[in-house]
Structure 1
Amino acid sequence: MKRLLSVFLAVLGVSAFLVPPAGARTPFVTPFMGWSSWSLESSTRAGYGTSWLNESHVRDAAATLAGKLKAAGYTYVNIDSGWNASPSWVFHTDVNGIPDPDPARFPAGIPALASYVHSLGLKLGLYAVTGLEKEVYDKNAPILGTSCHAQDIAYRPLTPSNGWGGNWKVDFTNPCAQKYYDSVVARFASWGVDFVKVDGTTADNVADIRAWSAAIDHARRPMWLTASAWPVPRSIGSSLAPYANGVRVDTDVECYCETVSSWDSSVKARWADLPDWLGVFGPRYRPDLDSMPISNNTGSGIQDGISDVERQSVMTFWSMASSPLYVGGDIWFLDASAVSILTNPEVIRVDQVGTYPTRVTGGDHQVWTKRAPDGRTYAAVYNLGSAPADITVDFDGARPVRDLVARKDLGRFRGSWTASSVPPHGSRLVRIG
């Protein structure tokens, strides 16, 4: 009997070692790549807006992603806000307060959609928000696996929570609060969900992200967890590090107009805002710069709203930041220029090495560098001004320089290399060494 007990304890010890501790984020090695629906939902262009989100359009986006971008590493199909709400924003939850898809938008349900997405070799993401949904509180939904109800886990006095103040703050001293999040994520896992974006994160919502992270652990299905807002407050950047895989560090990239975005609303903000966050991130915690408006600038469908020069600067900046790379336009109309920019393997490699940059020079003519694990240096120059400019990168000794966007060697340079006539809003990306 004693020997059997010893064997049991040994096996238990091994099992405990193999299972990550509750609340620790799933250890993804590289930033995710894919597509998100929100840019199309945010636009005022005819045929888009929140009514655009439905099962048919998501299936079309998944098929296009699989056919044109999957080979380059883009695999996530992320459904943003509205999947569990009617076009008039009436939210749906079941008897236990677990979000349900809107039956008009997703008549076949999320499991069928996830199955289709997975059949293409892709992954499916869903959207959630911090705080307790007021509809769940009002109906006092019973929490699965407990004797508690939704009103038992609401913080007292009732306090608005999340970036809109639209949900109630949760009392995480009540163990039933974690059980509620466990029930939501267990349902997501049963559907085949691979990604969760939790939006509206304020300085008061660190505990919410911790609860989502723990619930993902308990569900035992790997899910990328992004803490999102417009942006998440920098003050909680380090506090979220043990729980989230990524954190939104900037405002929405969308212009909320007839295009996806514009340089001023709000692509260029990233160059000013990312430096405040550098030093927070590590190999399992990524800066999320929001979606990339690189999809379609020709023919039918919504236009990106930025030029090809600006599109390349987006791809270069996101990659230097080791940010998740996800497209934010209508990829059904993906044009050839977008495909070329998005699938350049030498630029994608800069993103996927996972290290972080240093801003060497600020102002209108910026120089950023980062060191790859193999010891070589990547350097990007950006012209944020209104006229063409020469921008110089300094380094020690004589080094070979390769243009990663053009995918050609430029030669060997001693002490510096100069990018000539960089156009307004343009960039150059090179490997040194």
Structure 2
Amino acid sequence: MIQRYLLSILSFSFVCFPHQSHAVDQIVLSSDSISPTSEVSSPTGYRGWSSWSLQSFKGPGYGFFWLTEEHVKRQADVLADEFLALGYDRINLDSGWQDPELDEHGRRQMDRLRFPSGMDGLRSYLARKGLKLGLYYLPGIESFAVENRIKILGSEYTADEVIHCPPIQPGGSRPPNCRRPLANAFHVGYALNYSHPGSQLYVDSIVDGLYRWNISFVKLDGNVPGSSFPLASGDLCDTRPDLLAWRKAINRGYEEWRHAGREKIWLAASWEIPPVEVGPVLDVAVDSWRVAIDIEAYGYQMTTFDRVVRNARKAAEWSCIDAHRAWDGLLDLDACLVSDMALAESRSVVTIWALLGTPFYLGDDLELLTTERKKLLLNPEVLDVQRQIGSNPARLHHFNLTRYDQDQKLGPQLTDCKVWEEKRRLVRMSMGVDEMLEPESYCSNIASSSRTQRRTRKYVRDNRNEEEGLEWRQQIWVSELDDGRIFLGIVNAGDQAWWDMPIEVEVNLSMMDDAMNPKRKILRKDDMTYRVRDIWKRTDIGFISFSSRFKLRLDTHDSILYALSPVGS
């Protein structure tokens, strides 16, 4: 391993402190620069495990039908035995848990073949281990419920009455010249018409059933705007009313069920939610939202490092623009996968996820995850960074909105398009919808234009000046808390290509004003001193002043994570 080191070029005594170095460990710090291992707060960030990564993985023994009661219980056993003590207490079942048949009120039930013990059996098994259960849903109402005029629980309304363009007469056709919007990005079910009181009652009935099952998490997928739909498609599909209806039902249900010991259901919106169009709704409706398309590769690798960087780019659009930081909730970068990338790349995943305060839900096969990889996920100080940052995600130093927008205008990568088509196929299959759909406009012409896109991206890369795009190749993430502590992460992301190599980076806190907490600007002074702690090594490594500069060397695709605590001027 190429040594990574810090060379301080400060004017005071602590002139050198190494990071994960072996040959240069001769540096000696004075006794007053070393503090006992910091007390880590009880983890309260969102952590757990989710099934979709293994359902979308094409390795031997995995795939969509991998999701069974036996497999879930085996993952739960490992999670409870090795991860629960650090707050990993959730098991989330993605699309595929549902039975083809609905209940008498048009609601989804658990698949009786995949889960022979049923909902009560699985939930009880998890509860005995201290784990909570989460489920997957789509906006809208089930097609079978509409087409069979199933009565909505607690009302005299039938499902066909609460959709857009209801039949002129029971069992009849829709009114002429009336176009029904899509229910969600997957074209599954019917969109609810929330001007009809029965629509909210239908959502209420679903949520009441979830509280009855003691479900504590819902992933509501396929939201539009978002989900790779072009923004111009708002008249075709708009699920923002669904998010608001689910929030109303969750809050109401919690008031009814909290006396029975129920936890308020965590509502997560997915995926690639755009800030401007949906931010105000997210602020009042959901607890977390996915900022990018799936991180999974949908192939014989779980994920790749370029997908990690892509999702970090999307997160930066939220964390680096003050107007986008205003919305209350957590940015969700998708599953934290560490099993089959290089160890340095896996460490960088965890570093970025922690600095952005994203929910940590694992997706690898926990039974096969090596001890070395588990250590990345079980470092209590890294997890405490994730918890403390929460809704104050790190900003990217030198984030350039103009360059970001130009990059986005190059369009989606062909690989993303293929992921979207495979994801849609799997979700529709899980919902009992067999017919194939034509590729969405998101994917139209991507295959034919992919060669042009590659040439364009190569031209941009080959003709950029040395500084252009440097913020993405040498990522510097900063989160300054209101109490003055600073979390600093540096990632050698490169171009995620074969030519990437180790780098040397110079860091100067006083030059990072764009990434600092604006509320603390008048409180910072150049002579302020910070104690520096290497979070990954869980070791104090020296002091720096706010105006000092230091250099460090990072292996290819590797990262560092430091905590800087002010100790006075």
Tell me which interval the TM-score lies in, with the shorter structure as reference length. 0.7 to 0.9
Q: Aligned pair 1:328/2:369, yes or no?
A: no
* Partner residue, 2:433: none
Shift in Å, 1:373: 4.4
Q: Is the 8 A contact 2:243 2:281 kept in 1?
A: no
Superimposed CA distance per residue, residues 314-336 of structure 1 (whole angstroms, 9 cap, x where no aligned partner)? 11111111110110111122221
User: Match for 1:37: what amino acid?
Assistant: S
Q: Is the 8 A contact 1:111 1:192 kept in 2?
A: no
1:407 maps to which of 528, 538, 555: 538
* Partner residue, 1:49: 63
Shift in Å, 1:40: 0.3
CA distance, structure 2, for counterparts of residue 418 and residue 271 of structure 1: 25
SS of match in other structure, 2:211: helix
Q: Aligned pair 1:122/2:128, yes or no?
A: no
1:384 maps to which of 481, 488, 493: 493
Shift in Å, 1:259: 2.2
* Partner residue, 2:472: 363
Q: Is the 8 A contact 1:31 1:286 kept in 2?
A: no
Q: Is the 8 A contact 2:284 2:328 kept in 1?
A: no
Superimposed CA distance per residue, residues 378-418 of structure 1 (whole angstroms, 9 cap, x where no aligned partner)? 11111111111122332243322111011111111233454
SS of match in other structure, 1:186: helix
User: Match for 2:486: what amino acid?
Assistant: T
CA distance, structure 1, for counterparts of residue 72 and residue 213 of structure 2: 16
SS of match in other structure, 2:305: coil
Shift in Å, 1:283: 8.8
* Partner residue, 1:88: none
* Partner residue, 2:313: 272
Q: Gaps spanning 5+ residues in structure 1: where?
A: 1-28, 86-90, 295-303
Q: Aligned pair 1:211/2:260, yes or no?
A: no
SS of match in other structure, 2:186: coil
Q: Aligned pair 1:172/2:206, yes or no?
A: no
1:81-100 alignment runs, 5 A limit: 81-85=95-99, 91-100=100-109
Which has the higher mean CA deviation after the structures are superposed, 150-159 or 203-212?
A: 150-159
Shift in Å, 1:174: 0.8
Shift in Å, 1:129: 0.7
Task: Please report the RMSD computed on the Cα atoms of aligned residues, expressed in angstroms.
Answer: 1.7
CA distance, structure 1, for counterparts of residue 45 and residue 549 of structure 2: 29
Q: Is the 8 A contact 2:282 2:328 kept in 1?
A: no
Shift in Å, 1:233: 2.8
SS of match in other structure, 1:391: strand
Shift in Å, 1:215: 1.3
Q: Gaps spanning 5+ residues in structure 2: where?
A: 1-42, 166-178, 226-237, 255-261, 399-470, 495-499, 510-525
SS of match in other structure, 1:161: coil
SS of match in other structure, 2:160: helix
User: Match for 2:313: what amino acid?
Assistant: A
CA distance, structure 2, for counterparts of residue 211 and residue 106 of structure 1: 29
* Partner residue, 1:288: 332
Identity of aligned residues (%): 32
2:294 maps to which of 252, 256, 270: 252
Structure 1's 197 and 281: CA in aligned 2 closer, same or farther, altered over 3 A?
Answer: farther
Query: Greater helix share, 1 or 2?
Result: 2
* Partner residue, 2:140: 131
* Partner residue, 2:18: none
Shift in Å, 1:212: 1.1
TM-score, scaled relative to structure 1: 0.86
* Partner residue, 2:259: none
Structure 1's 357 and 224: CA in aligned 2 closer, same or farther, altered over 3 A?
Answer: same
* Partner residue, 1:192: 214
User: Match for 1:107: what amino acid?
Assistant: P
User: Match for 2:333: what amino acid?
Assistant: L
User: Match for 1:50: what amino acid?
Assistant: F
SS of match in other structure, 2:98: coil
SS of match in other structure, 2:308: coil
Shift in Å, 1:30: 5.0
Q: Is the 8 A contact 1:281 1:287 kept in 2?
A: no
CA distance, structure 1, for counterparts of residue 361 and residue 551 of structure 2: 28
Superimposed CA distance per residue, residues 200-247 of structure 1 (whole angstroms, 9 cap, x where no aligned partner)? 011211110111111111221411100112x12332123221010000
2:375 maps to which of 340, 356, 366: 340
CA distance, structure 2, for counterparts of residue 99 and residue 43 of structure 1: 25
2:149 maps to which of 140, 143, 166: 140
Which has the higher mean CA deviation after the structures are superposed, 118-127 or 367-376?
A: 367-376
CA distance, structure 2, for counterparts of residue 388 and residue 134 of structure 1: 54
* Partner residue, 2:231: none
Structure 1's 316 and 174: CA in aligned 2 closer, same or farther, altered over 3 A?
Answer: same
Shift in Å, 1:357: 1.2
Shift in Å, 1:262: 1.3
SS of match in other structure, 1:267: helix
SS of match in other structure, 2:65: helix
SS of match in other structure, 1:196: strand
Structure 1's 217 and 42: CA in aligned 2 closer, same or farther, altered over 3 A?
Answer: same
CA distance, structure 2, for counterparts of residue 277 and residue 350 of structure 1: 19
CA distance, structure 2, for counterparts of residue 348 and residue 184 of structure 1: 33
Superimposed CA distance per residue, residues 55-102 of structure 1 (whole angstroms, 9 cap, x where no aligned partner)? 1111111111000111111111001111004xxxxx331121110111
TM-score, scaled relative to structure 2: 0.66
Superimposed CA distance per residue, residues 2-29 of structure 1 (whole angstroms, 9 cap, x where no aligned partner)? xxxxxxxxxxxxxxxxxxxxxxxxxxx9
Q: Is the 8 A contact 1:202 1:233 kept in 2?
A: no
* Partner residue, 1:106: 115
Q: Aligned pair 1:374/2:416, yes or no?
A: no
Which has the higher mean CA deviation after the structures are superposed, 272-281 or 59-68?
A: 272-281
User: Match for 1:213: what amino acid?
Assistant: R
User: Match for 2:210: what amino acid?
Assistant: F
Shift in Å, 1:132: 1.8
* Partner residue, 2:24: none
